Amino acid sequence: MQFHVWAVFVLCVGLCSRMAFAYLLHLAPMQGYTNKHLRYFVRLLSEKAVLWTEMEKTEDLLRSDKDSKKRLLHSDEEHPLVLQLGGDDPLAMQRLMQREVRLYGPFDEININAGCPSIQAGGASYGASLMLRADRTRELVETLAHERQQPVSVKCRIGTYPLPQEEYNDDYNTLHEFAYAVSKSNCLDHIIVHARAAVLAGLSPSKNRNVPPLRYDFVHRLAKDFPSLRVTINGGLSLKQVLASSSISSSSSSNNNKDIDLFLDHNLDVMVGRDGLSKILDLWHVDANNHVEHWHHRISKENTSSNKKSKATTRAIAIKQYGEYAARQLEEDASIVLAELLLPLILACEHLRELVEEQDDEVGGREEEKQGREAMCDVEDDVEACCSVVEAILAKGCNKDSSSSSNININSNSISITSKNEGRRRRGDVKNIEVEGEEAEEEEEEAASTSRDMQGELKRVLRRTKAAIGTKVMNKIIRNREK
């Protein structure tokens, strides 16, 4: 009996200590991407992911109610949602905060951008250059904290350089001193560190996301030195690394464990940027990971709004539900930008192309083959949903339905999409298929032809999208998400 009590105690302690290593997963703010449509789509894939707006310039928001409302007005479903502000004027931030709830609805956290390097080059003095003005940054934090009850955060780099260098000699003290100065009045709740320095001039924004080198060790030290601050690590992390943590306690490879050491062992939260765009459908797997915490379990402040939407039951349904949303948007807003509405689906199509290719390349034993076929079946559903929805949006958005056989039919609780693909031969339920000899060859051939079909379908739909939104816009969407 005593042994049992002891065993239960040990088990509980073990579980509790594991649960202590839970983290929030943020999808990074990314201009040109994390607009309200992408946020809606991501929320259908994951309830746990913390969503961010693009950086909003305080002055712009104050200047135009109509435009800012259009971008920031949000529904309960988007929570948890962080508003990121760009600016260095405390008075302007105060004025904005006084009307934020009335105009847009509440946010779960207000963030100050102190990491964007391209802003100084544009003649302004916020973004990463705020790292050179720690006292002003603290003033901004204090202003936001006094105006609102939501947590206030700063997203920064580990330091700055005025120009590109032959060699970068980063100094941890720069980050420590900045964090100390900004947090000393106890108004700062959270700091997000993109673990590389910013080069303030002479380097393009995209190069500034790949050089100088990453210094995760600085973020680890920061978390240790500031135990009362929430610290989030960002830069170069992939969803795969984050999702690998579900297997940490079982048989994960040493390589995975090394990735997990980057944040789990240091009690950090995680922010993923570009990889979240190029592998957007992988956000579907986030909620199943026990180490990824739900915002509402962690941050239990009174004013925190709750996410009322439960995620879709499959990825294909999430895609179709996005189609339903897009149809509503097209009906309600005559000035909608088609490229913005299509953006999540362009990202999904590109990701699916990669998944189909990966499945083609995969070699393995019987069990892997079977799992591969099952995964391929899901991918097939996703491809079908994605292509149909894009076709339907193009048909509706471009107002020229003559050549398209796709349509979105909405009723109160479901969406049905008819498309050219409907008659395509599907491979049915492969779960129970035992493949032997000739049958295996046939199966392989069929899989190859299905994957060719899928690639062809995705390429065709992406070509049509490019024709509708323009090559330049399309290329920008594809290029800027790449590392």
Nearest approach in angstroms of CB 169 to ligand FMN is 21
Q: How many CA atoms lie within 13 A of 214 on its CB side?
A: 14
Question: How far is 201 from 86, CA to CA, in rounded Å?
Answer: 18
Nearest approach in angstroms of CB 375 to ligand FMN is 25
The smaller minimum CB distance to ligand FMN, of residues 31 and 455, is found at 31
The answer to whether 16 is a known catalytic residue is: no
The tokens describing 89, both together, are: 């004027």
In sequence order, the 6+-apart residues with CB closer than 8 A to the CB of 143 are 90, 93, 94, 97
The smaller minimum CB distance to ligand FMN, of residues 223 and 392, is found at 223
Neighbours of 428 (CB within 10 A): 9
Nearest approach in angstroms of CB 234 to ligand FMN is 5
The smaller minimum CB distance to ligand FMN, of residues 271 and 415, is found at 271
Nearest approach in angstroms of CB 450 to ligand FMN is 33
| Residue tagged active-site, from 116, 156, 187, 349 | 116
The smaller minimum CB distance to ligand FMN, of residues 192 and 387, is found at 192
Q: Return residues touching ligand FMN (CB under 6 A).
A: 28-33, 54-55, 84, 113, 115-116, 155, 194, 209, 234-237, 272-275, 480
Burial class (CB in 10 A: 0-12, 13-18, 19+), 173: exposed
Q: Are strands 407-410 and 415-418 parallel, antiparallel or unpaired?
A: antiparallel
Nearest approach in angstroms of CB 6 to ligand FMN is 44
Question: How far is 44 from 42, CA to CA, in rounded Å?
Answer: 5
Nearest approach in angstroms of CB 43 to ligand FMN is 18
The smaller minimum CB distance to ligand FMN, of residues 272 and 379, is found at 272
The tokens describing 292, both together, are: 């990824």
Angle at 315 between CA 270 and CA 360, to 5 degrees: 90
Q: Which amino acid would we find at residue 437?
A: G
The tokens describing 265, both together, are: 């062992």
User: In degrees rounded to 5, what are phi and psi of residue 430?
Assistant: -90, -5
Neighbours of 102 (CB within 10 A): 7
Q: How far is CA 223 from the centre of its chain?
A: 23
The smaller minimum CB distance to ligand FMN, of residues 55 and 395, is found at 55
Q: Which residue number places its CB atom closest to ligand FMN?
A: 273
Question: How far is 191 from 229, CA to CA, in rounded Å?
Answer: 7
Residue of 214, 241, 259, 210 whose CA lies nearest to 482:
210
Active site residues: 116
